[in-house]
Amino acid sequence: MSPLEFPALLQSFFTVRLIQQRRASPHTVAAYRNSFRLLLRFAAARLHRDPSRLVIADLDAAFLGEFLDHLERQRGNCARSRNARLAALRAFFRYVALSEPAYALHCQRVLAIPSKRFERGIVEFLNDEEIQALLGAPNLATWIGRRDRAILLVAVQTGLRVSELTALCRQNVTLGTGAHVRCLGKGRKLRCTPLRSDVTSILDAWLHECSPQPEDPLFPSSRGGHMSADAVERLVTKHVDVAQEACPSLADKRVTPHTLRHTTAMQLLQKGVDRSVIALWLGHESIETTQVYLHADLRLKEKALARTNSSGQVPGRYHPGDTLLTFLDSL
């Protein structure tokens, strides 16, 4: 019995392995789908063959290495994006090795392709002044402006991922005593996040402008459906540009929806909330994921420095001297 060819194996990987056996989330299926879309288009251009006529032998380790290099050089993907595409390829070839042992050696070579190491930058987050400038940017005289303010406020206070934010429906919000928002997060973990009184009052006013149906989106698009992740990113960028006039420090930061999630974590950390609680708040799988915020908070490091001071001097941040004297010293 001859082994299955590439098109049949790829379709079986998505329908049987991911959807039926693993019950992968729609986000995982979409991410893997996009990876193979890129690969098939690359292969069609390089091999001058329709994707449905490709065979497993065409997709060897050397060719897939060229594809990963293409993602970085031609498409400008970072090392993290490259590694995410590689993860999709590895999942597929592990399935091929189990389904068709005749391809086992071929798959072993592909699975040996290493992930690329990358530098971890400092987490970007907003301070209180920048948060207030951003929340004051939307035009509250318009429906879209009121919606955008509600989105930004919920994002900053709850730290929801953009996918969790766009998936919220009216029935996911409970106001009044014990006000909270419920979401189905990464890894199919259902969690509830409490809401402050100011957020509750704004959401209460916003709900009066929304559809009363429980299944309808909490933050609908102009057409009434769920907003896309790109739409949320565009609105954040738009309002950051406006907020820069009131708070120029925003011009030096790259603010995305995920930056608002980092801001939530940093606010909790600076108020003395335990890391395990922050991990639960954000829906982290491990408390080690929350460790990155410790490195981003300079004030925590200054407190640690103060405890180890042995020189008799009071530690503190550098403050420049008189501007006129500085000017004369520079001549």
The residues carrying an active-site annotation are: 161, 186, 258, 261, 284, 293
Question: How far, in Å, CA of 59 to CA of 51, rounded?
Answer: 11
With contact defined as beta carbons under 8 Å apart, do 216 and 132 qualify?
A: no
Question: How far, in Å, CA of 83 to CA of 113, rounded?
Answer: 10
DSSP string, 251-267: GGS---HHHHHHHHHHH
Q: Half-sphere exposure (CA, 13 Å, Cβ side) for 248?
A: 0
Beta-bridge partners for 5 = none
124-to-127, 201, 284 alpha-carbon distances in Å: 10, 29, 18
Two structure tokens written together for 251: 């011009």
Question: How far, in Å, CA of 157 to CA of 161, rounded?
Answer: 12
Question: How far, in Å, CA of 49 to CA of 274, rounded?
Answer: 56
Of 246, 287, 243, the closest CA to residue 265 belongs to 287
3-state secondary structure of 120: coil
Of 47, 56, 38, the closest CA to residue 2 belongs to 56
In this structure, how many other beta carbons lie within 10 angstroms of the beta carbon of residue 214?
10
Question: How far, in Å, CA of 174 to CA of 183, rounded?
Answer: 12
Question: How far, in Å, CA of 77 to CA of 70, rounded?
Answer: 9
Question: How far, in Å, CA of 181 to CA of 281, rounded?
Answer: 12
- Name the phi and psi angles at 181, rounded to 5: -125, 140
Question: How far, in Å, CA of 144 to CA of 126, rounded?
Answer: 23
